[in-house]
Structure 1
Amino acid sequence: MHSPSRVDEHPVTSDRPAARLATRLAFLVAGFGIACWVPLVPFAKQRLGVDDGVLGMLLLCIGLGSVVAMAVTGVLSARYGSKPIIIAGALGLTAFLPLLTVANTPFTLGIALLAFGASLGSLDVAMNIHAVEVERAEARPLMSGFHALFSVGGFVGSTLMTFLLSVHVDTLASTLLCAALMLGAITIARSRLIETAAKHDGPLFVAPRGIVLLLAALAAITFLVEGALLDWSALLITGKGLVVAAQGGLGYMLFSIAMTAGRFGGDALTARIGDRSMMFWGGLLATAGFVVLLTAPIAPIAMAGFLLIGLGASNIVPVLFRRAGSQRAMPSALAVAAITTTGYAGILAGPAAVGFVANQVGLPGAFWLLAAMLCLVPCCARLVTATRSHADSA
């Protein structure tokens, strides 16, 4: 059986600060774009006059479009480089966001959401591939900082859109303004993105295998944890009587703040201690956070648990993406695509799976299962980082 060779990737440009800026802008646009849609959901439901069941099916279109596009993007990026995919994905977000406010039937909104999700999925994969390339060119950890910008984009996007809607700016006008901001950002990034020449002497598509399967599984677990905290943490702490219903979102808010802060400091810490220690201690800290959360007798201790989970989990995914770029089992573009797709599937399927398990053993029991799964991260840290990279030799 023919074994595919590794992709030989050679950055055409050498302007490292410019490439860093372009990558940060791509992550910022991705987080900003998806966050702009969230405040529009109630308006879409009211405009179409649909029930929660139909709305749920429509929202699933974003995930479906994203997953399909992610699988295709890995192949396209491996052949043509990440630059044109980043530009196309960002332009897609810019174009389709306003359309989400004018689609007046479930069918047309579903098609628009599919396209919006496909744009997001393409951008998500391509920007991570580009981040791997930029990080490799600089030979120092940068991935955590890039991912932090996605979180910042999400915060800015949701805040700006909520503000515009709260002062009674029309939904179409609000999305056009946000689309203009995204267009400006990607215009700045366009000339600064690295152009990659890729050469292949093996098949273009390679099924994930070897270490990439493990990387993808760990990414799925980490993303599953994040999705479960988003959808179920409020019910967990209110169900235990730790906080009142109005304060149920405090836990996820603290988790998000800790994760963003952890990623801003993650590159410097990784450069000091290496990928293996980052994965081991990060996974251990996040698991300990679950133990604190699930055994907390009072709210402040439970909130400390959310902080520990956020800090511990913050740099696990960046390490996994970096390892996807340094492994030799398959072309790095396809490996990054596999990890992104699997991780996103974890976000999509995770909350439903938690609900199913909670129905059998209770919500605390489901969260204990998440903690047990998260234990695999520190347990696999040595295996995942067996191949040395710049993060280990820094």
Structure 2
Amino acid sequence: MIDKKTVHAKRATQFIFLICGLGIASWAPMVPLAKDRLGLNEADLGLLLLSLGLGALVTMPLTGVFISKLGTRKVIMGSVLFAALLLPCLLIISNIYLMALVLFAFGCSIGGIDVAMNAHGVQVQNSYGKPIMSSLHGLFSVGGLFGSLGLGFLIKMGLNPIHAAITISILLILLLIFQYRNLFNYSTEKEIIMKFSHVDEEKAVSSRFQWFNSSVLLLGLMCFIVFLSEGAMLDWSAIFLRDNKNIDPEFSGIGYASFSVAMAVMRLTGDSIVSKFSGKTVVIGGSILASLGIFILTFSPWLILSLTGFIFLGMGAANIVPVFFSVGGKIPGLSPTVTIPVITTMGYAGQLAGPALLGFIAHHFSLTIAFETIALLFIAVAVIYKLRKS
């Protein structure tokens, strides 16, 4: 029977994933405002946006060290408070160098939340005894949806942008305060790690060579591929539909919208799917479905069929990463404070580097070839995971 402490921790972790999605997505509608305020062209804006990703990448490998010393609950608290305080600043800074620095710091806070919430989610799942990671990531997607629309809605309601951003920051802090005491404390986390990883926490963290464990790196590499596809859809799907399918520019975002909704729905229902079919089946089947979706959207001459391809891609990719986090949190002899930061960092690197890699392929060949390269990588994930020892 599941104890009340674990049930409350699960609900609290769901709120943290929602907070992270809400926080990072709230930056998206600020980007055009920042571009106009700072007087940037597209190239300069691209360099500025890189600051956020670099901040996250720098912080993610270090977060495991802080977790091992303080526990995920304190790291989550510090990271959320830091992000909430920085968010309104992104609307008022008028110096590009200071903006880059603050955006870097904001990325650091988001990276800290991301690693800590996934590490905490894995521990709650282990204690819960049932898959929960897919629904947690689904709530991150829901938070992203509300975050991308929330700032604009508040401005539309009559608030000026800075007051709207402060309102969102207050909401983030209130949600954190409301659920903080229900998150697992440090001693509870150590007990769970000892039980499910069969490893002493301090001994595990002290050996940094465990970062180079082949099982961890393999999961990280496959996570890189899946996150690469998400970054590709975000940055290239609209261009693909406009240039390759002759869709009007004002409707070119429909592909990413279809992909995102399909992914969110599948993640919210993913725990029952993983329980019924096993994580291995979800990864292999999801990779094949995602690959099929890409081939459909690239070869189809009809828009409706292309959108079906985007939906298949979102459905297939949705629950792969949650399974990887679940597996990474149970590798014998390794602590989640070692494995989760590595897997998260490699995955996030794929989301950042992916669009640039696709741009390189598209420049030398075509965007269609670039998309089909992702399809082949998904097939590789299916084959690798099929051959991987359980």
| TM-score, normalised relative to structure 1 | 0.92
Is the Cα–Cα contact under 8 Å of residues 92 and 119 in structure 1 kept in the other structure? yes
2:54 corresponds to 1:64 = yes
Is the Cα–Cα contact under 8 Å of residues 7 and 128 in structure 2 kept in the other structure? no
- Identity among equivalent positions (%) equals 35
2:382 corresponds to 1:378 = yes
Equivalent residue for 2:217? 213
Equivalent residue for 2:196? none
Q: Whole-Å Cα distance in 1 between the matches of residues 285 and 90 of structure 2?
A: 42
Equivalent residue for 2:341? 337
Range with bigger deviation, 242-251 or 141-150: 242-251
Name the SS of the counterpart of 1:191 in structure 2: helix
Q: Whole-Å Cα distance in 2 between the matches of residues 299 and 144 of structure 1?
A: 30
Equivalent residue for 1:314? 318
Equivalent residue for 1:367? 371
Q: Post-superposition shift, 1:233? A: 1.2
2:280 corresponds to 1:291 = no
Q: Whole-Å Cα distance in 1 between the matches of residues 141 and 245 of structure 2?
A: 30
Select 2:143's aligned residue among 142, 153, 163.
Answer: 153
Name the SS of the counterpart of 2:27 in structure 1: helix
Equivalent residue for 1:201? 203
Range with bigger deviation, 187-196 or 211-220: 187-196
Equivalent residue for 1:30? 20
Q: Post-superposition shift, 1:238? A: 2.0
2:22 corresponds to 1:44 = no
- Taking a change above 3 Å as real, the CA distance of residues 204 and 172 of structure 1, as seen in their structure-2 partners, is farther
Q: Post-superposition shift, 1:133? A: 0.3
Range with bigger deviation, 164-173 or 220-229: 164-173
Equivalent residue for 1:109? 99
Name the SS of the counterpart of 2:203 in structure 1: coil
2:10 corresponds to 1:20 = yes
Is the Cα–Cα contact under 8 Å of residues 242 and 298 in structure 1 kept in the other structure? no
Name the SS of the counterpart of 2:91 in structure 1: coil
Name the SS of the counterpart of 1:66 in structure 2: helix
Is the Cα–Cα contact under 8 Å of residues 245 and 301 in structure 2 kept in the other structure? no
Is the Cα–Cα contact under 8 Å of residues 75 and 204 in structure 1 kept in the other structure? no
Name the SS of the counterpart of 2:184 in structure 1: coil
Equivalent residue for 2:178? 188
Q: Post-superposition shift, 1:38? A: 0.9
Q: Post-superposition shift, 1:335? A: 0.8
Equivalent residue for 2:227? 223
1:26-70 residue CA offsets vs partner (Å, 9 max, x unmatched): 100110001111111121122222333332222111111111110
Q: Post-superposition shift, 1:237? A: 2.0
Task: Give the letter aligned to residue 186 of structure 2.
Answer: T
Task: Give the letter aligned to residue 217 of structure 1.
Answer: L
Equivalent residue for 1:140? 130
Q: Post-superposition shift, 1:383? A: 4.1
Is the Cα–Cα contact under 8 Å of residues 144 and 263 in structure 1 kept in the other structure? yes
Equivalent residue for 1:4? none
Select 1:75's aligned residue among 57, 65, 80.
Answer: 65
Task: Give the letter aligned to residue 123 of structure 1.
Answer: I
Superposition RMSD in Å: 1.5
Equivalent residue for 1:243? 247
Is the Cα–Cα contact under 8 Å of residues 36 and 158 in structure 1 kept in the other structure? yes
Is the Cα–Cα contact under 8 Å of residues 78 and 331 in structure 1 kept in the other structure? no
Is the Cα–Cα contact under 8 Å of residues 66 and 121 in structure 1 kept in the other structure? yes
Is the Cα–Cα contact under 8 Å of residues 209 and 329 in structure 1 kept in the other structure? no
Q: Post-superposition shift, 1:306? A: 0.6
Q: Whole-Å Cα distance in 1 between the matches of residues 93 and 144 of structure 2?
A: 24
Select 1:301's aligned residue among 301, 305, 319.
Answer: 305
Q: Whole-Å Cα distance in 2 between the matches of residues 374 and 318 of structure 1?
A: 16
1:67-114 residue CA offsets vs partner (Å, 9 max, x unmatched): 111011022213332111111111111110011112121122112111
Where do 5+ consecutive residues of structure 1 fail to align? 1-12, 388-394
Q: Whole-Å Cα distance in 1 between the matches of residues 4 and 112 of structure 2?
A: 25
Is the Cα–Cα contact under 8 Å of residues 211 and 339 in structure 2 kept in the other structure? no
Q: Whole-Å Cα distance in 1 between the matches of residues 42 and 281 of structure 2?
A: 45
Equivalent residue for 2:114? 124
Range with bigger deviation, 214-223 or 54-63: 54-63
Q: Whole-Å Cα distance in 2 between the matches of residues 235 and 347 of structure 1?
A: 17
Q: Whole-Å Cα distance in 1 between the matches of residues 116 and 358 of structure 2?
A: 30
- Give the total of aligned pairs: 374
Q: Post-superposition shift, 1:366? A: 0.7
Q: Post-superposition shift, 1:19? A: 0.3
Select 1:324's aligned residue among 317, 328, 334.
Answer: 328
Q: Post-superposition shift, 1:145? A: 0.2
1:318-357 residue CA offsets vs partner (Å, 9 max, x unmatched): 0000010011263222111111111111111110110000
Select 1:233's aligned residue among 229, 237, 254.
Answer: 237
